[in-house]
């Protein structure tokens, strides 16, 4: 569930958003972590799909999950399916280096809201945050 009370999309409301980064590559984890901090967020960072699922099973929920596709133990497609099956309503954004249309389609069908090709850019994060804040507005404007 989205936590922000503020209906505007300023970076202040970003601070209330909970974010999870799921990627097996330490360089990408570091990069995405810093990207998100730059936008005023404090992401949690894990190494594979299973850790994300485990967190969810413990009762932690996130507004936004950045999900890599290729990971050991449990990959992004499996993890996304599992999270959706468990009732996760987080915005799940796939981030993948494999860009073929059919692969992205398969990833989307697992339950993603959006799918982007790596590398992540400021514009993509901007877009994602705007989408999140739009949902926020919908919830708070009765």
Partner 1 sequence: MDLVQLQRQLVEYRTSLYHEGFLDEQYTQLQELQDENNPDFVVEVVSLFFEDSERLLNELTKALEQQSIDFKRVDAHVHQLKGSSSSIGAQRVQKVCIAFRNYCEEQNVEGCLKCLQQVRHEYSLVKTKLESMFQLEQQILSAGGSIPM
26 binds partner 1 (CB under 8 A): yes
Helix, strand, or coil (residue 139) = helix
* CA 20 – CA 18 distance, rounded (Å): 7
- Tell me which of 52, 88, 118, 128 binds partner 1, using CB under 8 A: 118
- Tell me which of 25, 113, 131, 137 binds partner 1, using CB under 8 A: 25
121 binds partner 1 (CB under 8 A): yes
30 binds partner 1 (CB under 8 A): yes
103 binds partner 1 (CB under 8 A): no
11 binds partner 1 (CB under 8 A): no
Helix, strand, or coil (residue 37) = helix
- Tell me which of 10, 54, 89, 122 binds partner 1, using CB under 8 A: 122
- Tell me which of 97, 109, 130, 140 binds partner 1, using CB under 8 A: 97
Radius of gyration of the chain (CA): 14
3-state SS, one letter per residue, for 83-136: HHHCCCCCEEEEEECCCCHHHHHHHHHCCCCEEEECCCCHHHHHHHHHHHHHHH
Chain residues that interact with partner 1, rule: CB under 8 A: 25-28, 30-31, 34-35, 38, 70, 97-98, 118-119, 121-122
């Amino acid at each position: 569930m989205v936590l922000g009370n503020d209906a505007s999309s300023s970076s202040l409301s970003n601070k209330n958003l909970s974010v999870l980064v799921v990627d097996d590559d330490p360089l990408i984890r570091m990069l995405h972590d810093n990207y998100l901090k730059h936008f005023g967020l404090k992401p949690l960072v894990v190494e594979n799909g299973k850790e994300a699922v485990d967190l969810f099973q413990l009762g932690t929920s996130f507004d936004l999950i950045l999900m890599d596709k290729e990971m050991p133990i449990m990959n992004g497609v499996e993890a996304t399916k599992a999270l959706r099956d468990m009732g996760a309503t987080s915005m799940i954004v796939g981030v993948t280096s494999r860009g073929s249309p059919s692969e992205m389609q398969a990833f989307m069908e697992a339950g993603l809201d959006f799918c982007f090709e790596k590398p992540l850019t400021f514009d993509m994060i901007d877009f994602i945050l705007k989408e999140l804040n739009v949902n926020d507005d919908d919830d708070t404007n009765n």
